[in-house]
Every structure is written in C-alpha cells, then in structure tokens.
Amino acid sequence: MIGIHGLTAEQEAFATHVGGAFVHACPGAGKTRTIIARLAKIAATLPPRRGVAVLSFTNSAVDEFRERCRVAGLGPLLKHPSFMGTLDAFVRHFVVLPGSAATSTMRPIILDSWDTLGIEVRLSGQFAFRGDAVSLDLFDAETNVIDPARIGHAGLRNHVRQHQARYQQAAAQRRRGLLQAGYLSAGDARVQTLQLIRDPVNGGALGRALAARFHEVMVDEGQDCNPLDLQILSWLREHGVHVIFVCDPDQAIYEFRNGNPAGVQIFKETYPVESHRGLTGNFRSSPAVCRLAATLRSAGHVDQSVGDTANVAHPILLLSYGGRGPSATIGRAFLDRVAELGLDSTDAIVLAHSGKVAQRAAGGVVSSDSNGSSRVESLARKVAEFWSPAATARSKESAIQAVETLLLDLMGLRQDNEHLLRAVERGGMDRRTHRRCALSLLMSLPKVCGNADADRLAWIACVQAETERLNLPLPARVTVRNFFRRPTNVQWSHHLQVPVELGLTCAKIHEAKGREYGAVCVVIPPNRAPENRGEALFDSWETRTDAEAKRVLYVGLTRAQHLSALAVPVAFADRCVAVLVAGQVPYTRRDL
C-alpha cells in the first residue's frame, strides 16, 4: 500500500507521527528518504525561531542529509535555528563550548580521540614496561578505569593487569593536565556534558533553552549510541524535547567507542508502545542478498526485497582463497563476475573490517606495517593515505593536517603534544596560508616509490627540494635536509608501493556504512592466533549468537544491491557453505 508522495504505509506513519518515536529500520528500508519526508512536513509548520536537529555518527552521513535537504528544497533547515551534524558536534556546540566559555577564557580543542595527539600512558622507574605504551583512549573518560582485555599486545596486556592501579593513577594525572591545557577528547566532552546536565540549576537552564530552540531532535543510526549518549538523549526528553531515535540493532558496530546494543534495547522501553515504529521491506537488495543477511541476524528474519532489484536472481558469490592472506586475485575474480553479469564495475567495491585487507584484495597500495617514526616515513605514510583508493574526505583532511603539523615542527613553532590549531592560534599564524603550503607539498610529492635504494634517495631528494621551495622561516641550525634525513630502515618506502591497476574501489566497512553499491565483495581475513577472530566469527554465525564481528559482516554485505560476494579463507569455506545451505541462500563457489 503506497501512501502520499510515494511513501509506503509504514513510511507515511513515521513521517507523520506526532512527538518522539523509536523507529526500527532494516537495511534498505528507505530510511533516509522517509526522514527527509518527515523533515519536509515539520518544516511546513515549524514555529518562528524554532528548529530541528538531525544527528548522526559520521560526517559522510551528515553530508548526505545536507545534500538531500538541498535537493528537497529544505535549505532553511540547514541554517539557524536548526542544526545538522554529528552527535559529537551537537554536544560540543550546545553544551561543552558554552559551558567552557562561562568558566575559562581558553577555547577548548575537542579531539576525536587522544590518539590524534599521540597521548599515551607509561609507567616509569621499576614499574616501566620496555615495549609500547597504552593509549589514553583505552581508559574510561569518567573513571580512568581500563579493561586490560582491550589491549592487543599480550605482554603489555599482562603488565597492565599486574599494575592496573598504577596505570589508572597515571592516566588520571595525564588527563588532568590535558584538560587544564584546554584539550578534550570526544569521550571527555561527554563526561563534561553529563556533569553539567546533572546540575539541577545549570543543567535545568540549559535543558529548557534547548527545548525552546529545538522542536525535535532526530538521531539516525541510533544503535551506535554509547551509554553516555543515551543519558544525554534521555535528559533532552526529560526537558520536553521530542527525540526521534532511528536504529537497526543488527548494525551496531561501534563497540570500540562503547556502543551498547543492550542499552539501546533498554532505551526503547522508555518509549510508549504506540511510539514504536518500524520500517520493513528492503528497497535496496536482491532476494539473495536479503537471504544472506538473514543468516547473520539472531532472529533469522528474512526481509522482503521490494525495490528495483526484487527480480534480480544473481546468486551470492563465494570466493575461497589460500596463502598467507588476501591478494589481488580476489579483486580480479570479483570483477570477472561483475563483468559476466553486466554490472557496472565503477559501482563495485571491496570491503573489509580492516582497510589494509580491503586494499590488498582490491590490488591497491597497502600501507606498510612499518611503524617507524622518522619524518620521511611519516610523510610517506600521509602521501599514501591521501592518494589511497580507500581515502575519504575525512582521511584526506587528516593527511593534510598531519603535513601542516610536520611543517610547524620544521619551523620550531609547535610545543610537545600541542595540537595544530592551538599552535597556530598561539603563534598568531594565518591558517589558510599555512594550509596551502601543506597541501602544495602533499600534492607535489610522487605518489609511488620503488624498492631500490636509488628510488628511495630520489624520493627523499624530492621531499627536500619541494619543502625548500616553500621558503619557510627556519630556526637557527635547522635545515630542510637535516630535518628530512634518510631513515635508518628501508621499510618506509613500502607505504608507496606501486598498485595493481584493477580499478576497484575499496574501503573499511565502517566507512561504507549508510551507503549502497551495485556489487559488494566483503573479505574475511585468515584466522590469527591468539585472537582467533575468524574462528569466533564463524562460531557466532553458526550458532546465531550476538557478536560485533558478525554485525560488521552484516553491515558490509547489506550494502549490495545486485551482487554480494564473500571472500573467505579456504579453512572456513566449507563452514560458510553449510551456513548458506541452512539459510537457503543461493550461491556459486569459486576456489581461487
């Protein structure tokens, strides 16, 4: 049954619902289109000086909403008093910055993570660990408690277990110093927000002010909320803000930022039953893709394919591969199948949990495993990231900022662990001019470097020449040539290996979330001890038990419209076949 403006009955019920709602939307259910329809209806009756806030968790998702609003003639919703951005940006803009302005003259710099500044926690003296330090991001922002199980390195994990209290004390001290210096991670910003909203006087005043400004706050991809996010949303509701919460718990893939599917279920129960809405029917994927997706759900429900691909009969492509890991052989086999079916290869993508795994399978440049800290290697790594086929607008921006920071270090204008923006602000620099210098250097350097000494020397010589051409003011006894000196190891040039030209796009699954492609190949890497992630994935898949690795696979495979391909190590191929057969999923197998 089709409602007005081409919406289904379910979509129409959501678009016209009055007040807050909890909306469960399956992949491809037309969620974004329905949200835009709801925004159009709200915009038509929005009182003066009141707006709506549309929040998501990635900049790419926000950009898509912005573009959809422009196309739909909803430009006013992109301006004051409305707001469209990430939940982090909302918290920063409406809570943290106003709160900081009242207590400090220093404008805080809010980082996505402490890793942005390379902030680590290390014990000294007799308790020192000779290997890696622990990222401050692994310590709880509110309590500084750490779960050693989250540390990958076995030796460091055991050391933290032995000296956990000392590590937590050191983390608390390090965090305190950073906060005093005007730095906040996204997690710390949320903690400050909770402290404010728990204040009955200041928190109450802020809640009333936000309720007066926002007619509604709409949260997309709500399954990615962590407990602090849910507390903030509950507080908004307590002050009369209508909160629309749109989610699919099967797509919760942010455990690394404490995403909590169980907490989302509890949050659902705070909405009255009549405010529970659902969007079913998959307008994106073919019946085979829908059946494959059902095998990855705990409940096993198969969505009905109801869109333009409802009559597409392409079976799932199962590729089994051997060797030490994925290679371009996977990408070639995937492209062969895409060509056989007459699909558009420019609308095909290789996805994996790890960007390196996806790049290897797509035949792209794979950043070296070398983690050398030389300036030449750092620059080579950023050049590779900037030109990578897996690059996003955000990763390109990160590369540019890294080069900006490197140039500040060359000029001696940055203090230890000082953020780029703070250094520019403190030095009274023209950020635009400095940014142009960094971008000019990044664009002028060769994208590839051979594996011979002569190739490496030529690449370093180019770095030195292009940097000297910028005519930057340098401190006494500092030259471009001694700043960018030749690294002692030769592994750095592996960041700039020549790619196999398959013409395939690739990305991390997290980066592709919310998008759709004609054909998708998801790559599962070989099982590695001691983590045994591949074994854990197939155990949870076979037993239909909840696990984030399974949800990540679900997100990747459900990006496909016409064709889903799954590349698995040969050791897991038969187990994968058994799952497909049990789920009545049509498939073809090719052993590489």
Q: What is the DSSP letter of 392?
A: -
Each residue of 446-470: pLDDT tens digit?
A: 999 988 999 999 999 999 999 999 9
**261, 224 Cβ separation under 8 angstroms:** no
Residue ranges of domains in the chain = 7-94+186-278, 108-180, 285-363+499-589, 373-492
User: Taking the model in full, what pTM does it have?
Assistant: 0.81
Q: Return the ∠ at Cα 92 (arms to 89 and 97), rounded to 5°.
A: 145
Q: Given the structure tokens 């927000």, which residue do they identify?
A: 193
Q: What is the dihedral of CA 447, 452, 457, 460, to 10 degrees?
A: 30
Looking at CATH, the fold of the domain delimited by 285-363+499-589 is given as Rossmann fold (3.40.50)
Taking the chain (592 residues) in consecutive chunks of 10 residues, what is each chunk's mean pLDDT? 67 95 95 94 92 90 91 93 93 85 75 87 94 93 92 91 97 94 89 89 92 96 91 95 95 78 93 96 96 92 94 98 93 96 95 90 62 82 84 82 95 91 90 94 93 93 96 94 92 78 83 92 91 92 94 96 98 97 97 96
Q: Which CATH superfamily is domain 7-94+186-278 in?
A: P-loop containing nucleotide triphosphate hydrolases (3.40.50.300)
Would strands 134-135 and 120-121 be described as parallel, antiparallel, or unpaired? Answer: antiparallel
- How far is residue 526's CA from residue 572's CA, in Å, rounded to a whole number? 9
**342, 591 Cβ separation under 8 angstroms:** no
Residue 14, helix vs strand vs coil? helix
- How far is residue 123's CA from residue 102's CA, in Å, rounded to a whole number? 36
Each residue of 358-375: pLDDT tens digit?
A: 988 988 655 544 455 689
